[in-house]
Structure 1
Amino acid sequence: MSPPSAAGPRHGLARVLSKLGVCSRSQAERAVRAGRVWVDGRPVHDPERPTDARRSRICLDGVPVAAAAPVYLALNKPRGLVTSAADERGRATVYDLLPDDLPWLGPVGRLDKASEGLLLFSNDTAWAAALTDPDRHLEKTYHVQVDAIPDAALLARLREGAVEGGERLAACSVRLLRQGSRHAWLEIVLDEGRNRHIRRLLAAHGLGVLRLVRVAIGPLALGALGKGQWRPLQAEEVTALARAAGLR
């Protein structure tokens, strides 16, 4: 018998498949319940069955499962696409912009259908979890076109935040980028991401959003990446994001 130190952590089978970068946790749950996953030569139908990935032989559809090579991508999301692998209403998704020969990748955070800009994907679930952990306060920068010209007093109130729907909505910073005759662009930096955070914050102060573009996540800027285009992250970019999220 192997000594206890040889054993790895035991997690539910669906979580193990997700952590290996094989598929999402929900996809893994469905595959297990359908009898497509075998462990040590036997089919398993319980997604929560404790499994040690280091000591168990896991097969999906008869193919041995091994940890996938980590992949990290940046996408410039256009408005009108849903951040989902599949949509129950048949709407176009961000995955329509990615090639079919990529391994399974999950979105690292989300942008709503009407929002644009920098969106990350990876099969490295630990890295993705760190970047999206609200307790790590990784800053995200947005450029937002609003339907009015905010004066200094309104900008000050935006910086103070608002309470909406029982939630405190705050921003790290708000500044005026430029203005026209009727509209203005603001730069808003968040270190948390509540549902429709910026839209709700602005609406609480009487401002409507015309466009919302995420231009940076931590030290990673959208840069010149074209709308609807994607690129792999460089190793130093992956490391810089991990450090910004407090990973060592």
Structure 2
Amino acid sequence: MTTTQPGTVHPAEPPASGEDRAAPAWRRIAAQASFETRAILRNGEQLLVTIVLPVLVLVGLVRTSFLDLDTQGWSRVDFVTPGVLALAVMSTAFTSQAIATAFDRRNGVLRLLATTPLGRGGLLAGKVLGVLAVEVVQVVVIAGVALALGWRPALAGLPAVVGVTLLGTAAFTALALLLAGTLRAEGVLAVANLLLVLLLVGGGVLLPAGELAAPLAHLAVLLPSGALGEAMRGALLEGTVPAFSVVVLLGWTAALGWGASKLFRWH
């Protein structure tokens, strides 16, 4: 038996190993963003909405004439592609994110992750970065198909497209979190898909508001979908973004973000 002599100084406890310490915040957020990205891209239903649907809409509108379009002198593919890119942003930032977050909330995943070193802020940051990563994939795929169909975007407007995409992502992610944090998961599933269809048909995203019926034309320009569609068309057709569309998107982002921050329930 070993004994400790009086006055013996005990050696300090060894430092905690790397496994016992939390990773830096940026690494935790990056890991969550990677998980969110893979979850969307591996889910067949979400992949259908985020990648397959926009590509089918693009090819259908360009290669068929079932919908009579007033392209205002632009080629059909040049006129349609900006709206399809706006639709892609909506499908990922809103529909996919709302449904995924709602079911994570119902299953207790959000409450669990919020108590880990990732925290609530890290969880939300990871979700936003995951959305942006999926949008990069969408842009690459859609732009590749559009270029193959003869698309010639206004190169001067490409930097503006990045800003418009970020602003549209912020607005629709805030809307997604507002729905996901206040409604039951089954309700979010129905409402999110219904809203996407309604905005696709009459929200000014694929077609300019001026081509819609009179009541919808005045309403569409005030919707986030219409503002995003007009901003995309302005940037990629003419190289400039309408200031009114930017103001509308900023207003929706602020209002929806405030609502989500006040009403979101984690469980």
Q: TM tier, shorter chain?
A: under 0.3
| Structure with a larger share of its residues in helix | 2
What is the TM-score of this pair, normalised by structure 1? 0.26
| Structure with a larger share of its residues in strand | 1
